[in-house]
Amino acid sequence: MSNLVVLVGYMGSGKSSVGRKLAVKMDLPFIDLDDLIEQVEGKSISEIFEKQGVLHFRKLEREVLENTLRENLNAVIAVGGGTPCYYNNMDMINEHGLSIYLRANVPQLSRRLFPERMQRPIIESQQSLESLQEFIGKHLFERSPFYERAHETLDVGLIDLDEVVQHCEHIIN
Ligand code: S3P
């Protein structure tokens, strides 16, 4: 198996920030699946959702994931919050690399995501912190079974970014 680490978890759990730092420490390239999708499509994630719809986005996401994993790269990949929950993406991720679920709780995710909700099509219609919290609570309940299929789970709630990266390194080595 190649030296491939795949970070999964809800939006705002820190996948991209952790992935970027972890990749530097492991001397591996970092790939952000959302960035790759934007490059392939030549549009932002918000534009893809708005103009082509969520189903098109999920197909595109699957295609880009499949092509990336098939390259058998040595890399750290951060996938989107929804990626593990569609098609058999989680099986495919687990077959190709070591997956780590960055698990954060609902209040933490809500606080982090509220100020930046307008850049995130899934939650942009949530007007208050309370409604966002309720939405994330239900959404996480639906998505957790997919995330929990990751090889490893790391609770990221009470620790800072550097500690999360250290824990990931510990899991990998
Ligand atoms: C999504 C999460 C986003 C992005 C898209 C859909 C989701 O990725 O793929 O907006 O369904 O949770 P991040 O988790 O990297 O923000």
Q: What ipTM goes with this model?
A: 0.98
33 lines ligand 1 (CB under 6 A): no
Mean pLDDT calculated for residue range 70-86: 97
Looking at residue 82, its pLDDT comes to: 98
pLDDT of 90 over the 60 cut: yes
Q: What is the pTM of this model?
A: 0.97
pLDDT of 22 over the 90 cut: yes
Tell me the domain boundaries of the chain: 4-165
122 lines ligand 1 (CB under 6 A): yes
Looking at residue 2, its pLDDT comes to: 72
Measured from the Cα of 13, ligand 1's closest atom is: 14
Looking at residue 147, its pLDDT comes to: 98
What's the fold here for domain 4-165?
A: Rossmann fold (3.40.50)
Decide: residue 36, CB within 10 A, 0-12 exposed, 13-18 middle, 19+ buried.
middle
CB atoms within 10 A of CB 163: 12
Mean pLDDT calculated for residue range 164-171: 97
Q: Give the pLDDT band of residue 157 (cuts 50, 70, 90).
A: confident
Q: What is the 3-state secondary structure (H, E, C) of the chain?
A: CCCEEEEECCCCCCHHHHHHHHHHHHCCCEEEHHHHHHHHHCCCHHHHHHHHHHHHHHHHHHHHHHHHHHCCCCEEEECCCCHHHCCCHHHHHHHHCEEEEEECCHHHHHHHHHHHHHHCCCCCCCCCHHHHHHHHHHHHHHHHHHHCCCCEEEECCCCCHHHHHHHHHHHHC
70 is in an annotated binding site: no
Q: Is 164 helix (H, G, I), strand (E, B) or coil?
A: helix
pLDDT of 167 over the 90 cut: yes
Decide: residue 50, CB within 10 A, 0-12 exposed, 13-18 middle, 19+ buried.
exposed
Q: Partners of 103 in the beta sheet?
A: 155
Average pLDDT along the chain: 96
Each residue's pLDDT tens digit, 116-136: 999 999 999 999 999 999 999
Each residue's pLDDT tens digit, 26-56: 999 999 999 999 999 999 999 999 999 999 9
To test ligand 1's pocket by mutation, which of 6, 85, 120, 138 has the most ligand atoms within 8 angstroms of CB? 120
Report how far ligand 1's centroid is from the alpha carbon of 10 (Å): 8
pLDDT of 1 over the 80 cut: no
